[in-house]
Structure formats: C-alpha cells, structure tokens
Amino acid sequence: MSDRSHEVIFQPEGSRTRVQDGVSLLEAAARCGIVFDTPCGGQGLCGKCRVHIPHHAPEPNDADQNHFDLDELAAGWRLGCQTHVSHDMTVVVPAGSRMGDQQILTDGIERPTPLKPATQKITLSLPLPSVDDQRAHLDRLREALTQAGVNGEARFTPQALADVTDIFRGRYTERTVVLCEDTVIAVEEGDTRSALYGVAVDVGTTTVVGLLEDLNTGERLATASRSNPQTSHGDDVISRIRCCMETDAAVEQLQQSIAGCLNDIIGELCEAAQVAPEAIYEIRAAGNTAMTHLLHGVSPVSLGVAPYVAAFRESRVRSASELGIAPRSRARLRTLPNIAGFVGGDTVGVILAADMRESDRLTLAIDIGTNGEIVLGDRRRIVTTSTAAGPAFEGARIHHGMRAARGAIDRAEIVDDALHLHVIGGARPRGLCGTGLIDLVARLVEWGVIDIGGRITAPEDQPHTVPAPIRARTLKGEGGFRFRLFEASATESGLEINLTQSDVRELQLAKGAIMAGAHILVRKLGVSMGDIEEVLLAGAFGSYIDPRSARLIGLIPNLDEDRLRSIGNAASAGARMALLSTDVQRLADTISRESEYIELAACVEFQQIFMDQMMLTPVAP
C-alpha cells in the first residue's frame, strides 16, 4: 500500500472519507458508518455489496465479471469488497447493498421455571469492630454468612474484597452480600435485596437477542435485539473461522465486536426498564459453538479443520467485565454448554425450552438458521447433527437473496390464478429472503413451472393449466431459465428481481442436507418418520416459514399439521430458563454430556440419502 491518499464520497449521504491508496471500498464505507451486506465475508462470492461508480470506475476483476453483465460493468457497477481505491471517486451505495434492519425474532416457547437463580442477596447485620473485637472484616463476614445458613467458606472476588474494606470505613452495620453460586461478587451498603437482575442472551450468528429478568420475581422486564456486528467478517461461522485462520488479531476483533453489541443491548434493556446497570449480576448466554468460543475470546480455528473438534464443551463462567461486557456491574457471564463442534449451546437451549429431555414424546426439532441443527429424541435418548444449510435461507448464494428486512419478498401466494408477492414493510422490493424463496418454489412446483427435479421448465413445456401471465414470466437465463418476480421499474435498485435456476439448486442443496440429516437420525434411533410425534421448528426462520410450503417441497416431514409447531427463539428461552434456575443449568450440563452427536460425513449412506432428498417432493412419513 502506498502513502498516497484519496477522497471517497459515498452517495446518497454525501459522506466523505480520505483513505490510503489500495484500501477497499468495504473498509472506506465502514469509516463513514456505512455497513455493506457481505454474507461471504468480503470474498467476492455472494455479490451482495454492489456499488455504482458512475465516473472512472476501476477495471473489473473476475469476481465483478461473475456478478455483472457487460452493460452493467460498462455503466460502472462493481463489488465493494473487490474494488480498491486508486483515485478520488464518488460511489453510489444502493439500499440493497447495505446491512438493513432485519426482522429479529425475540420471543420463544415459554414453560414454567421454578425460580432458583444462581445469584442471591443476603442482608446481614454486623457488629462494628472495636478495641475488644478486632477480628478481620472478612472473618466477621464469613461468620455472619455461616450463621445465616450460607457457606461461610465462599470465595471472594478481588472486587468484593475491596468492597469489604471500603464499606467498613463507614459506620453502617447492615450489609448486603451478593453471592453467585459459591463466590461472593459484591458487598453493598444497606439492604439492596430488591435490586437483583440478570440478562439472558441468544448470541446468534446473524442476530443477538437480550432479555432482562428480575431475579427476585422471574418477571421479564425488557427485550432488546441487534444484528450481530461480526457479520462484517462474513454471515456464516465458516467465514469467521476462516477469518481467524488468516489473521492473528481476528479473534480479539471478533470478541470485542460481540462484547460491544452486548453492551449496547444491556444499555437499552436497562434504559427501558429503568434499572441501574450495576444491578445486573448475572448474564446467561446461548450460542453455537463458534459464537461461544468467540464470546470467550477463544480461537475457533479447530472447528475449521477435520475432525472439527471444539476447544471446550462445558459451560464456562467468567467475570463479564474481564470480557469487556457490562463494565459497570459485577456480573458473572456463563455460557450454556456445547454438544459438539457444530451443535452448540443454542441447541441445548432448544432442547431445554422444548422439554425434550423430560418428555416421552418422540420429537424432531429443526433449527434452520445460518447452520441447520437437528435433534431427535425423548427422555430416553437424544441424537443430534448439523448440516450446512444456512447460506440459501439467509440469502447468500441466491442471486437476489437478502435477509428478512424491509424490502424483502417474504411470502408468495396464489390467488385467482395470479401470483401475489408480499414485500416486508410495503416497500419497493429489494430481493428475496428465505421464507419467500420456499413459498415461491412451492407455488411454482404446484403449477408445474418447476418440476420435482428442480428444473425451471421452458414456457412451451409447462402444463396447459399454467396461466398465460405466469408463463410469460419464464425467461431465458444463464444456465437455464429464470422466473421474473419484478420488473426493473418496480424495484428499489432499478434492476429486475428474478428467481434463477441456480437459486433453485441452492434451495435443493439446503433442503436435501436438512432432510438427509433427519433421515440419518431416524435410522440411528431405529424408528421411522411416521413414529415422530412432534416436529418443532425453532429460530426465526422456523417461525416465519409456511409449513404447507415446507412440506410440499420436502423441507420437513409430511406429517399432519397438528404434529408441527413453531417454537420461536427457543435458544433465548433456554438461556432464560437457565438464568432463572440452577436446576435447569444442571439439566443443561446433563444434556451436553449425554446427547449423542452424529457426524454426517462419517455416514456412508449420507450421500445417497442427500441426493434422494434433493427432489422437490413431500417426504413420506
């Protein structure tokens, strides 16, 4: 990189920055607070960070040529992650290229949890030291704790020990001891028992959700959510693991990024509920294995190479402030335990929230997110696996794919032989999100526009029952036909939005992997699909998906509708349960130890089942 610098102006804001020669537009935009949608982590693979450079656009590279046609390249369209600043330039960043506000699912299945938090407050009345009673302050406290029926041998954190010295400088005899499990984390003046709060967090790959709980009553006081800022390093865990492999500083950067996100969420929660941040004493977090590692500042690189083993599995407890989280509080952060390299604490949260470990009902739980986790079992035995299903459902590798944000096509319906497309927020369409992709393909399969093998058929080969306006949407495209959803004049970007043949193939790969995983688990337990008494769809995707569409294309088993249930953000619900009850935390540890993980790559029958499940037909029970 040379010492020359150039001015870059980003439109339509008119934001300006000066960067050195060779800096990518991705980095230059970030300096202006403009965050690109980069599902591939800036590798030039997804084509989402499109920018328009109307004057003196740099020469396109191979990635640009893969994502733009000749007319677009000539007009100055480039990928922001692949374009490096070599002169002063003006760059137009369309809305479709930006990280928009997503629909974030915050609520999950709720079931009663007896209140028994790990953190408690005990108020003690202590005699002041005197010439006749010169016991050390700590001895005085330990004796009082023992008399109160609490472990008098509890450890004191350095901060709590400092509290003892500071408080006894006053003349107060009433003290409140804050005890988290077997550790005293604070000693406070007076009776502060009414202020006892905790936060449950779902640290998702794409989104982060926080719940503020009153640990005295079990009442939820506030909810807050954010997009995970780590997405600037890639939408999926593989991208972030690869980032850690390539750059030594990446682990620290990613840890600081998620710590900052949690601080923003905790700040919002406290403001909404009028709770002092220093009254937060416990944080319980659920996340997949890679996110859990990064939250603790532990490198996840071992997850990126065979045999994909995690650095740790068990629940881990840290002082939150040591991780740069909730610095104004004495909070202890505990993560739910993982099960395997790609089945993490978020799946343990799903099992907890769904009560699978205590139920006699054979249950299949599917969490379709950036990665697909699948769980099958009951109180006798639980088996799990994971599949690389997420990219298509999160919008990556879909030509006009995007997250479920404003402007996304999220539903497709047939009304009076016409296709009706719903756009989130009633805005001009920007792209197609995962639920819209499933709905659309299901409707086109119903019509016969797409055959069960996943091929978009030529207009002349489509059934005579296909209405003429629908047939007219089928146009010649690269690698086959495409189906036009919106003309250029109707979209926010001014470009057509289409469903391409490659988009359908990506959906087939994702649904094939999920159902192949489910079939492997069914075989492992020696049961059939028909034996499954309940199918639970977890996560945001599972909550917004139309079960009829999912069954039609074989994404989920073709069971009666009364056996299908969406359970929402079950990971955050599980984290909340563990926050409220030490019994639930112990159950989480048991689930982690006893659940079996099946590595699909080691199953010789997986490839054949996977190929069979790529067909767009219902899965027989």
The pLDDT of residue 396 = 67
The pLDDT of residue 168 = 64
What is the tens place of the pLDDT at every residue in 513-570?
A: 999 999 999 999 999 999 999 999 987 777 788 989 999 999 999 998 889 988 888 9
Phi first, then psi, for residue 232 (nearest 5°) are: -65, -15
Question: Residue 340: inside a domain, yes or no?
Answer: no
Q: From its phi and psi, is residue 610 left (phi > 0), alpha (psi between -120 and 50) or beta?
A: alpha
152 and 289 together in one domain: no
36 and 75 together in one domain: yes
List, in sequence order, every residue forming a beta bridge with 284; answer none if it has no partner: 200, 334
Angstrom distances, CA of residue 123 to CA of 138, 190, 277 = 15, 8, 21
- Answer with the residue of higher pLDDT: 477 or 468: 468
415 and 562 together in one domain: no
The pLDDT of residue 83 = 93
Place of tokens 């300006």: 16
Residue 438, C-beta contacts closer than 8 angstroms, at least 6 positions apart: 507, 545, 546, 549, 550, 553, 555
Q: In what order do the strands lie in the sheet with 418-423?
A: 418-423, 408-415, 431-432
From CA 164, how far away is CA 141, in angstroms rounded?
Answer: 9
Place of tokens 């929660």: 269
249: enclosing H helix or E strand: none
3-class secondary structure, 205: coil
From CA 253, how far away is CA 259, in angstroms rounded?
Answer: 10
3-class secondary structure, 513: helix
From CA 344, how far away is CA 110, in angstroms rounded?
Answer: 20
What is the tens place of the pLDDT at every residue in 390-400?
A: 567 776 678 88
CA 241 to centroid of chain Cα atoms:
15
| CATH number of the domain encompassing residue 523 | 3.30.420
| pLDDT confidence bin for 24, thresholds 50/70/90 | confident
Count, residues in the chain: 621
83 and 50 together in one domain: yes
With a pLDDT cut of 70, the percent of the chain lying above it is 95
The pLDDT of residue 601 = 87
Question: Residue 210: inside a domain, yes or no?
Answer: yes
Of the candidates 524, 393, 417, 523, the residue with the CA atom closest to the CA atom of residue 467 = 417
CA 374 to centroid of chain Cα atoms:
16
Contacts of 64-68 spanning 24+ positions with Cβ under 8 A: none
Phi first, then psi, for residue 302 (nearest 5°) are: -65, -20
Q: Mean pLDDT for the chain?
A: 89
The pLDDT of residue 16 = 83
Strand extents, DSSP E, 396-471: 408-415, 418-423, 431-432
What's the one-letter identity of residue 476? K
| CATH number of the domain encompassing residue 329 | 3.30.420.480
The pLDDT of residue 105 = 47
List, in sequence order, every residue forming a beta bridge with 477; answer none if it has no partner: 480
Question: Is 510:393 a contact under the CB 8 Å cutoff?
Answer: yes
The pLDDT of residue 169 = 66
Question: Residue 110: inside a domain, yes or no?
Answer: no
382 and 517 together in one domain: yes
From CA 600, how far away is CA 374, in angstroms rounded?
Answer: 11
Angstrom distances, CA of residue 66 to CA of 54, 77, 398, 506 = 20, 12, 14, 17
From CA 454, how far away is CA 549, in angstroms rounded?
Answer: 15
Question: Residue 114: inside a domain, yes or no?
Answer: no
511 and 369 together in one domain: yes
The burial class, CB within 10 Å (0-12 / 13-18 / 19+), for 229 is middle
Residue 450, C-beta contacts closer than 8 angstroms, at least 6 positions apart: 441, 444, 456, 457, 504, 616
Place of tokens 């500071």: 166
Asked which of 466, 499, 532 is the last residue of a domain, the reply is: 499
Strand extents, DSSP E, 315-424: 316-319, 332-335, 363-368, 372-377, 382-387, 408-415, 418-423
Both tokens assigned to 15: 């934001």
407 and 515 together in one domain: no
Mean pLDDT for 495-501 is 93
From CA 335, how far away is CA 575, in angstroms rounded?
Answer: 8
What pairing do the DSSP bridges indicate for beta strands 372-377 and 280-287?
Answer: unpaired
Phi first, then psi, for residue 272 (nearest 5°) are: -65, -35
Angstrom distances, CA of residue 355 to CA of 334, 541, 619 = 21, 21, 26
512 and 384 together in one domain: yes
| CATH number of the domain encompassing residue 172 | 3.10.20.880
Of the candidates 599, 25, 612, 75, the residue with the CA atom closest to the CA atom of residue 341 = 599
387 and 523 together in one domain: yes
Question: Residue 343: inside a domain, yes or no?
Answer: no
Question: Residue 618: inside a domain, yes or no?
Answer: no
3-class secondary structure, 538: strand
Question: Is 437:459 a contact under the CB 8 Å cutoff?
Answer: no
Q: In what order do the strands lie in the sheet with 316-319?
A: 220-227, 207-214, 197-203, 280-287, 332-335, 316-319
213 and 314 together in one domain: yes
The count of domains in the chain is 5
* Model pTM score: 0.82
The pLDDT of residue 238 = 86
Question: Residue 103: inside a domain, yes or no?
Answer: no
The pLDDT of residue 99 = 67
Asked which of 151, 173, 189 is the last residue of a domain, the reply is: 189
Question: Residue 345: inside a domain, yes or no?
Answer: no
Question: Is 347:373 a contact under the CB 8 Å cutoff?
Answer: yes
What is the tens place of the pLDDT at every residue in 125-176?
A: 877 777 888 888 888 888 888 888 887 788 999 999 888 877 666 656 688 9
What is the tens place of the pLDDT at every residue in 189-202?
A: 889 999 999 999 99
User: How many CB atoms neighbour CB 415 within 10 A?
Assistant: 7
What is the tens place of the pLDDT at every residue in 330-369?
A: 999 999 999 999 999 999 999 999 999 999 999 999 988 6
The burial class, CB within 10 Å (0-12 / 13-18 / 19+), for 346 is buried
Q: Is the pLDDT of residue 106 over 70?
A: no
The pLDDT of residue 172 = 60
Helical H segments across 168-213, by residue range? none
Asked which of 451, 473, 499 is the last residue of a domain, the reply is: 499
What is the tens place of the pLDDT at every residue in 287-326?
A: 999 999 999 999 999 999 988 999 999 999 999 999 999 9
**DSSP code of residue 131:** S
293 and 416 together in one domain: no
Question: Is 569:396 a contact under the CB 8 Å cutoff?
Answer: no
Which residue range forms the structural domain that includes residue 33? 5-97
226: enclosing H helix or E strand: strand 220-227
Residue 173, C-beta contacts closer than 8 angstroms, at least 6 positions apart: 125, 126, 127, 128
| pLDDT confidence bin for 1, thresholds 50/70/90 | very low
58 and 159 together in one domain: no
From CA 401, how far away is CA 3, in angstroms rounded?
Answer: 38
Q: Is the pLDDT of residue 453 over 60?
A: yes
List, in sequence order, every residue forming a beta bridge with 283; answer none if it has no partner: 199, 333
